[in-house]
Structure 1
Amino acid sequence: MRPSRLLVLLLVFSAALPAAAQAPRTVAGVCGRTNWVCVSECIDAECVDKCMREGCEDSLKRLKSCTSKAACAPDDTQCAAKSCGLTCERAFEPAPKSPEKPVEDPCEGPKALQGTAVPAELVGTWVLSAASLPDVEQGNADRIEVQPRSDYARSLRLTPTGCFVLRTKLDDATLGRGSTLEVRAWGKVELSGKDKLALRTQDGQALGPVCGKERVVPLSKGKFKGGDYTYAIEEKDSLILTVPGATRQTFQFEREKPQAPEPQPKP
């Protein structure tokens, strides 16, 4: 068979493949699904920074420089597209032609995920208030206490039926002015013994306005690692998660308090 004919057959065969088999790959230098999958399971800021460094840090720096010079307001989702359109498009993987719909709540409804039954003291939404970093320079288990960065807002929701949702919000300080993504991972909770908790991630999405367009980036084909922790509840409203191992990295969450109702206008 001649090479030209072989090439034609390969092209025809490729066109006949289902869309899933031709899913776009993450390109070096572009922020895409690989980065968001990595971010989706992060709790501390250093982990998020590492996810963003792998492939797309330089392109985001160029984008942030452009939106800053253009004086884009943080809440102006169209400014990046109008003033820095090409730079913005080059920083992110193109959105799928037929994006999937946002998953409203993977822990509710007939298809809700179910893991190990969760004790009442763990049920609820927890907001990260502090995290520790291993003292890698000394090579020992000492920890440097750090406060969570405001541009990485993180929360963990646990349901009675053993479903969890971990949310990380990336704002303009990370993605350039006018772009925001909420990166979510969800899955099943596994409890063993009195103080061992595992988060087994099964799926996720990254949602929000990017380059003037609403994005829904599916993470279902990503390689999730999940996380194993020991946990403790302090004073009923503080959840402490500790990573087993030499570093004993620790995360402290505070129970989310219901927002006070807005005062009604006086007649």
Structure 2
Amino acid sequence: MLLGGALSASAQAPSRRPRTVAGVCGAANWVCVAECIDAACVDQCLRQGCETSLDKLQSCTEKAGCAPDDTSCPTRTCGQVCQQAFEPAPPSPEKEQQDPCASVQPAGAGVPKDVVGRWELAAATLKPEPPGTPARADPQPRPDFVRSLEVQPNGCFVLSTQLKDATLGRGNQLEVRAWGTFAVSKDDKVVLQAKDGQATGPVCGKPRVIPLSKGKFRGPRYKYQVEGDTLTLTIDDPSKRAFQFQRVETPEPPKE
């Protein structure tokens, strides 16, 4: 076992908190989410300014008794509550970046071939609990949370988090992406230097493209290791917390 201990998808915590914007979910939260790797970190990002609003939205849709296959019901019955839970859409929304790496400058000599590809988070070391804290028997896995990392040969990376309606309320989904340079050093360390990002998806019944370009990305440093189809990123700090990704095979395009 690479990580040498209990594994779960709930370990990382953000080193900074997003600013609360009038008690609603907004770009500050999505910037925070963009650099998280595991679900516990995402939960903490959403807790600042988001938690109460999302609880009200969930309560509203539960009381409405919307049928699972009635996709218009949440917006129809709880539209105003939903609007109050999220920052309003910008007056001039930008277009979704279909190929974000097209605008990223190549990273010197590129990256090692064994790192190139698409990876999905499989496990993470649990964050040590304070002395005297009862041990958690259940690491609380999150089926509504999907985290992927794509590394291209030119050194561009895209970190993607899918937040589904179990997190954001019925009918709401966002894919939060950050992209930039996968900067590798000679000692098998890497800095994820995010340059930009977007959060895209349906919110309150309408498609949203939320720019994250004004966010302050931290650019965390990791030590990386590849063994077969497993990529392990270990935070380069005293905690040495590790995140394990499994390679995802990309299907080849059909032949004409």
TM-score range, shorter chain: 0.7 to 0.9
Q: Return the alpha-carbon distance in structure 2 between the equivalents of residues 73 and 217 of structure 1.
A: 29
1:134 alignment partner, SS class: coil
Alpha-carbon separation, structure 2, partners of 1:75 and 1:98: 32
- Deviation digits for residues 165-203 of structure 1 (CA, Å, limit 9, x no counterpart): 000000011101110000000011111124101100111
Equivalent of 2:33 in 23, 26, 39: 39
Consecutive unaligned residues in structure 2, runs of 5 or more: 1-18
1:165-244 matches, within 5 Å, as 165-234=158-227, 236-244=228-236
2:155 alignment partner AA: G
Q: Which amino acid aligns with 1:105?
A: D
Q: Partner of 1:252 in structure 2?
A: 244
| TM superposition shift of 1:53 | 0.5
Query: RMSD between aligned alpha carbons?
Result: 2.5
- Equivalent pairs counted in the alignment come to 233
2:23 is the alignment partner of 1:29: yes
How far does residue 145 in structure 1 lie from its aligned partner after superposition? 9.7
- Within a 5 Å distance, the mapping from 1:77-116 to structure 2 comes to 77-108=71-102, 111-116=103-108
Question: Does the C-alpha gap of structure 1 residues 82 and 106 become closer, same or farther in structure 2, counting only changes over 3 Å?
Answer: same
Q: Distance in 1 between matches of 2:111 and 2:138?
A: 29
Shift of the 144–229 alpha-carbon distance from structure 1 to 2, 3 Å rule, reads farther
SS of the equivalent of 1:100 reads: coil
**1:137-156 residue pairs with structure 2 within 5 A?**
137-138=130-131, 146=139, 149-156=142-149
Cα deviation, residue 27, structure 1: 2.3
CA deviations over 1:16-59 (Å, ceiling 9, x no partner): xxxxxxxxx96231000000000011001111011001111000
| Offset of residue 66 of structure 1 | 1.4
- Following superposition, the deviation at residue 77 of structure 1 comes to 4.8
Could you tell me which runs of 5 or more consecutive residues in structure 1 were left unpaired when the two chains were aligned.
1-24, 263-267
Superposition deviation, residue 147 in structure 1: 7.4
Alignment match, 2:15? none
Per-residue deviation at 1:240? 0.4
Segments ≥4 residues shifted beyond 6 Å: none
- Per the TM alignment, residue 149 of structure 1 is displaced from its structure 2 partner at its CA by 2.0
Alpha-carbon distance between aligned partners in 1 of 2:187 and 2:170, rounded to the nearest angstrom: 45
CA separation in 2, counterparts of 1:217 and 1:169? 14
User: How far 1:134 sits from its partner (Å)?
Assistant: 1.5
Q: Shift in Å at residue 76 of structure 1?
A: 5.3
Counterpart CA distance in 2 for 1:75 and 1:33 is 30
Describe the shift of the 1:144–1:113 C-alpha distance in structure 2 as closer, same or farther (beyond 3 A): farther
